[in-house]
Structure 1
C-alpha cells in the first residue's frame, strides 16, 4: 500500500478543478440540457413507469444512478445468508428474478449501463405475474430490445485515508446482445483498506482511572470480484445462467499500547467464494407458467491469528519468545439449492402458484487455540498450535454440520376489486440438521409458515398495506461449535451450542404510502410488532469455572415494536424540481428477560433519524448532495457471561459532488464519514461472572476510521 502525504491536497485541487470546469462549460451545456423535470410516462393504481427519456437530463451511468433520481425508492442489497431461495425480493430485470445469493439482483443494478434501459417500473401492488413476493414495492428494470447492441462501462477509483494511505481500484463491465442472446460480465478490484484507531480508559469499581490503551487496527484489503450473466429467450421460454467468483483475503495488523506493556497481533485472513445460479422459465398459451431455479455456492473463511507481548523499553520484535496466543480458524460453507414452481389462473381474478424447494447446506469447521501456559495439567507446546500450549477446552478439532431441508409452498393471489388485492401463502418446511466431529447429534424441525398481504388503494396516490406472517430464521452453523470471538480481547473464543434451534417470529405490519401528484414525492409510514420465540442471544456455556464462556443460544420469548417513517420530496414548489430531499425517522423498542441477570432488557437500538439531499443542476451536468444519519440510544446492552457492554454510535455525514465532462465522462468526488464518526463503548467486567460476581473493571473506549476521500472517473461507450 503506497503512503502519500499529498492525497488531501490533490483531492481539494480536483474539487476546485471540478467546480471551475462546471462553470466554464455551463453556457455550452445549457443549450443541450434542461432543468425542467420530466414526468413519468404512466401511473396506474399499482405501477409507476419511468421511460429512459426521463433520466436523459441527468446523464446516469448505471441503473443505480437512475434509481437515485426517483423519490421514495430504496432497494435492499439482497443475497447473503437468507433461508434458501424462497420467493422474496424487490428487484426484477425484464420481469425475471435472478437466482443468486451473494450474486444478487441489487448488485446487477450497479453493473447494467443506463443506456441499456428502456424503462423502469415501480410496482406497488401484489400480482401473480411477479416472480417475487412480500415486498412493499418492486423495481422492474426493462432493458431495451435490440437485435445487436453492446456497451462497456469503465470506472477508476482512488481513495485517500486519514493516515495518508492511498489506494486505487477499477471495474470494467461489458454487456452485449446478439439476437435473443444477452450477456454481461463485470470485473472489479475494489479497495477496502481501513485503519481504525481506538482510545480506552480503564477505571476501578469506584471510578478511579487505573489504566489506558491506544489501539491501531489496520485492515489492508483489496476485494477482487468477477461476475457474469448470460440469458437466452426464444418464443415463450427464457433461460439464464449467473456466475460469481470473489477473493477478499487480507492481513490485519493490530497494535495496542497499554500503560505497562505493548501488544501486537498479526492476522492472515483467506476469504474466497464462488457461486453458480440459473433459472429456466416457460409460459403456456393458457396462462400457465413453470419455473426451475438452482444455486450452488462455496465459501471459505480461514483465519490465523498470532498475538505477541513486549516490554515498552525493549525492541518491538515479534518472535516466538514473546508469543502469547495462537488461533487457527478454518470454515468452509457449501450450499446447493433447487426450486421448481408452477403457476396457473383459477379464475379471471385469482391465481395460484405452487412449488417445492430442496436445500442442502454444509459447514466444515475447525478451531485450534494455543496459549502460553505452564504448570500442572498443561499440555506440552505443539507446532500445530503455533508452538504454544494447546487449549483443548477452547478448541474445535473438527466439526461438520449439515442441514437437508425440503420446503413446499403455495401462493394465492386474488384481485378483490379494482382497488384492492389479497395475497395469502402457506409454506411447510421439514429439515434435518446433523452434526459430527466433536459432538454427534441429529435433530428434525418442522414448521408451518402462513402469511397474508392485503393492499387497498384509496386513490391512485394513497395505498394501505397490512401484512401478517410467520417467519423462521436461518441458523448460523458456525455457532454449533467453538468459534473465534473478535469483539473481546480477553475472551478469544465463544463456545459452541449443538442444541441451537431456529428463531421463530410472528410479524405484523400496517403501512400507508402517499405519492404526491406529478411525481413530486412519496411519504411512507409503517408500524410493526414482532412476537419472537426462541430468540437467539448469549447464554452461559461455562464448563470450567476458571474459564467462563458464552455461546449463542435460545434465550426465550422476546418482543419488538416500532414505527418507520420516511419521506422523499422534489423541491419543485421552491422552483428547484431537480432537487430531492429525503428524510427518515424510525423509532423502536423491544423487551426480553436476560438469562444472566434475570432483568428486562432491550435487544436492539431505539432508532435513527436520517436526512438526505441531492440536487442535479442539469444545465451544468452537475450533481451534489449529502446524507446525514443520527442514531438514537436508549439503554440497550450486550450482556454475556463476564461483561455488560453498551455500544453507542455517533452522527455521520457523507457528501458528494459529480460532474459529467466531455462525452459522457463522469467525475465524482466523495467525502465519506466527513465528521469522523466514532463508535463508543462502555464495558463493565465482572468476576467471576455477571451472574453472581462483582464489578471488577470499567472500560470506556471510542474508535474511528475518520474521514475518507474518494475520487472516481467513469464512462460508458
Structure 2
C-alpha cells in the first residue's frame, strides 16, 4: 500500500470524524457538578447514581458501562519497561505501575461503594505524560475494610472437564494513612474441540483422514497485595507484591486412516508449569517546587515446558516419537525517576529509566528409540541466554493553549545493549530516538478530536533469539542472534461525539509505518527463524458506539457496537510478494446488547462476535488458523439473590468451529512443489458459564 493510499484513508477518516447534528446534549444524565479535581473544567463526570441500574460490584463494572468508552493499554500488554503511560484509565489521577496485574484485575479490586465519581477527561490536560484522547479517572476513597468475591464456573458439552475453581476474593480497606488491598485469585479455563482433519495431495486426492480431538486447560492461582501510605506533606509511598503459579495442560489424541499403510494412533501431551513473582514500590514527594517520583520493580517467571509425541501402528511396527523439554527463566528489573513541575502555564516532566531484561533457557530434544526409551539428541541452538540493558531519558510538556485546545510533546532517547550467550553468542548496541506530539481540539462540550504523531520502539520476545521445535506440526524454529526491535512512525486520530440521550460515538484511525518489521524469514545456512524483514505498514480504522434505547421506549436497554478494519502490507521474504502480517487481526465485529429491566433486579442480553485473522507465511508452508465464523452468546442475570449477583451464560449458539488450513511444500518456497494440504474442521460445541459475586 502506498503512502498516497494511506493518506487518502486518513483524510477520509478525518472527514468522518467531523461533528454531526445530534440530539440535545442536556439529555445526558451522567453530567454532574463536582468539586474541583485533577479533571479539566469540561470533564464529563459520572457519579455512582448513574451506574445504580447495573448494580456494580466494583470499579471495573462501572468503567465498563461508560457510554462509548473501552479500556485499553496497560503495562501488562508487553510494553517496553514502564515508559510513559499508555493506558486510558487512572485511579485518583495516578497510573497503575504493576506489570503482573492487568488494568481489569486492579479495577476489579476497588469496591463500587468506594468510588466517588469517574471523570472522562482529555489526557493532554493531565500531568501524566503519554496519555492522549479520552481517559477515565476513577476517584475513590477507601472506607474502612470491605471484601468482595467472585466465583466463575462452567462446562462445555464436549471433550472437556468442568471449570470449577475460577474467581477471586479480595479485601480492601484503610487504617489511618494506610490503604491496603489483598487478593487471592485463580484465572482458569477448560477448552477442547473434536473433528476431522483431511490430508490431501496437490491434485486433491485423499492421502489420510484423521479423527482428532483435544482437551486442555490452565490454572493461574495468584496472591496479590497492594499498600499505599500517606506520609504527610504530600508524600506518598506504594508497595505492590504478587506471587503466583501457572499450570497448563493439553492432550491431543489422533487416529490416522491413510489410503495406503497401517492405521496410526498418535498421542500428544503438553505440560507447562512454573512460579512467578513481582515486587514493585514507589515514593513521591515535593522537591524544589515540583514533585519527584522514584519507582522500582523486579519480576521473574520460570516456565517448565514439555511436549511428548508418540505414533503407534496397528500392523505391529515399531512406534516412533519425540520429546521436547524447555526451561525458561525470564526476569525484568526496572528503576525509574520522574520529576514534574509547573512552569510557563504548562506541566513539565523530566524522567529517566533503566531496565534490565534477561532470559535463561535450557532446551532438550529426544527421539524414541526401538527399545521404547527416549534418547537425547543434540540441540545446542536451543540453549543459551539473552540480556538487554536499556537506558532512557525523556522530557515532556503538557499545556492548554486555550479552553478548546491542548497539546502534549514528549522527546526521548533510548540506549540499549543486547547480549546473547550459547552456541550463537553475540553482542550489539543501539541508540534510538522516540517521542510523540499530541493535540486535542474540543470545539463543543459534546465533541472532541485528538491527533497524535509518534515514534515508537517495540519490545522483543527474547525466545526468538534461540531455537525451538513444534513437534505436532513438524516445524523447527531456528534462532536469530541478529534480531532487533522494530520501530515505527505512527499517526493516531481519535474523535468522540456525544449523542445526548441516544448515547455516544467514538472513531479511531491509526496509520503505522514500520522499520525492521519482525516475521518469519529464511536463514542463510538453511531453515527459518523470526527476524527483521524490512519495511511494512498498517492502516487501522475502528468505530465504537453506545446506543441507548430509552428514547424509543425500551427503558434500561443499550447496544454497544465495535467494528475494526485493518489493511496491512509487508513484503514476504520467501516470495517477494506483498501480503498481510502473519496472524494479525484484519477485522472485528462486536455487538453487545444488555437490558436492565426497570423496577426489577433482572437483566439479560446477548453478544455477537466475529474476528477475522490473517494467515501466516513460512519457508515451507502457508496457512491460516481461526475460530468462527461467528460466536453468539446469551446471558441472564439477577442482581439480588440473597444479596448476591448471579449470572448464567450460554455461549456459541451458532456453532462456531475451530479451523486450521495449511499448505506444506516439498522444498523451500517460492519454486517448490506442494507436498500436501491439511484441512482441520473441529467442533467446539456449546459453552455454559455461571458466576456468583458478592460483598462481605
Q: What CA deviation, in whole Å up to 9, does each residue of 1:436-478 have, x standing for no partner?
A: 1222211001100031111101101111111110111111111
Q: State the distance in 2 between where 1:357 and 1:703 align.
A: 48
Task: Name 2:374's counterpart in structure 1.
Answer: 388
Look up the match of 1:594: 572
Residues in 1 aligned to 2:252 and 2:445: alpha-carbon distance in whole angstroms? 57
- Report the secondary structure of 1:436's partner residue: strand
What is the aligned counterpart of 1:504 among 487, 494, 504? 487
Query: Aligned partners of 1:197, 1:132: CA distance in 2, in Å?
Result: 49
Q: Does 1:84 align with 2:81?
A: yes
Contact preservation (8 Å) 1:422, 1:452: yes
- 1:609-662 deviations in Å (ceiling 9; x for gaps): 2211111124111222222112346xx431111101133441112322210225
What's 2:247 paired with? 249
SS of the counterpart of 2:61?
Answer: helix
Structure 2 counterpart of 1:521: 503
Partner of 1:684: 663
Does residue 266 of structure 2 align to residue 296 of structure 1?
A: no
- 8 Å contact kept, 2:122–2:440: no
Shift of 1:125: 3.7
Q: Residues 396 and 46 from structure 1, CA distance in 2 versus in 1: closer, same or farther, beyond 3 angstroms? A: farther
Counterparts of 1:339 and 1:190 in 2: how far apart (Å)?
30
Question: Does residue 75 of the first structure (1) align with residue 71 of the second (2)?
Answer: yes
Query: How far apart are the structure 1 equivalents of 2:543 and 2:183?
Result: 36
The answer on 1:185 being equivalent to 2:182 is yes
TM-score by length of 2: 0.89
Pairwise mapping of residues 302-313 of structure 1 onto structure 2 (< 5 A)? 302-312=304-314
Find the residue that maps to 1:84 and give its secondary structure: coil
Q: Partner residue of 2:96? A: 98
Alpha-carbon distance between aligned partners in 1 of 2:692 and 2:349, rounded to the nearest angstrom: 46
Distance 1:152 1:145 in 2: 12
Aligned length: 652
How far is the alpha carbon of 1:132 from its aligned partner? 5.2
Displacement of 1:686 in angstroms is: 0.5
Q: Deviation per CA, 1:126-159: give whole Å up to 9, x if none.
A: 1243x3523432222111354xx11111222321
Deviation at 1:99, TM superposition (A): 1.6
Any stretches of 5+ residues in structure 1 without a counterpart? 1-35, 316-320, 375-380
CA distance in 2, matches of 1:140, 1:704: 43
> What is the match of residue 134 of structure 2?
137
> RMSD of the TM alignment (CA)?
2.4
* Rounded Cα–Cα distance in structure 2 between residues aligned with 1:292 and 1:674: 51
1:535 aligns to 2:517 (yes or no): yes
| Residues 1:473 and 2:475 are matched in the alignment | no
Relative to the length of structure 1, the TM-score reads 0.86
Pairwise mapping of residues 227-246 of structure 1 onto structure 2 (< 5 A)?
227-233=224-230, 234-246=232-244
In structure 2, the CA distance between the partners of 1:707 and 1:511, relative to structure 1 (3 Å rule), is same
What residue in structure 1 maps to residue 593 of structure 2? 613
**Aligned residue number for residue 617 of structure 2:** 639
Give distance in 1, aligned partners of 2:673 and 2:349. Answer: 59
Change over 3 Å in CA distance of 1:365–1:80 after alignment to 2: farther
**Whole-angstrom distance in 2 between the partners of 1:150 and 1:40:** 30
Deviation, 1:208, is 1.7
Displacement, 1:250? 2.8
Query: For each residue in 1:346-385, what CA deviation from the matched residue of structure 2 results, as whole angstroms up to 9, or x when unmatched?
Result: 212x2211100000000001211122479xxxxxx9xxxx
Q: Deviations over 1:386-429 (max 9, x none)?
A: 9434442x454631111000000111112111100010111100
Looking at structure 1, the residues matched to 314 and 61 of structure 2 have their Cα atoms a distance apart, in angstroms, of 52
Distance across 2 between alignment mates of 1:484 and 1:62: 44
Task: Measure the CA separation in 2 of the matches of 1:613 and 1:37.
Answer: 20
State the SS of the aligned residue for 2:227.
strand
In structure 1, the partner of 2:4 is none
> In the aligned structure 2, how far is the partner of 1:272 from the partner of 1:80?
19
Q: 2:31 aligns with which of 36, 40, 45?
A: 40
Residue 150 in structure 1 maps to residue 153 in structure 2: no
Q: Does the Cα contact within 8 Å between 1:589 and 1:605 map onto a contact in 2?
A: no
CA apart distance, 1:196: 2.8
Quick one: which of 348, 351, 356 aligns to 2:352? 356
Residues 1:100 and 1:484: Cα distance change in structure 2 (over 3 Å): farther
Q: What are the residue-to-residue correspondences of 1:351-500 with 2, within 5 Å? A: 351-372=347-368, 387-392=373-378, 394-396=379-381, 398-485=383-470, 489-491=473-475, 493-500=476-483
Q: Which residue of 1 aligns with 2:13?
A: none
- On the 8 A contact 1:250/1:269 being kept in 2, the answer is yes
- Tell me if the contact between 1:366 and 1:396 (Cα under 8 Å) persists in the aligned partners: no
Cα separation, 2, equivalents of 1:284 and 1:444: 35
Contact 1:192 1:223 in 2 (8 A): no
* Residue 540 (structure 2) pairs with residue 562 (structure 1): yes
Deviates more, 1:91-100 or 1:457-466: 91-100
In structure 2, how many angstroms separate the alpha carbons of the residues matched to 1:114 and 1:585? Answer: 30
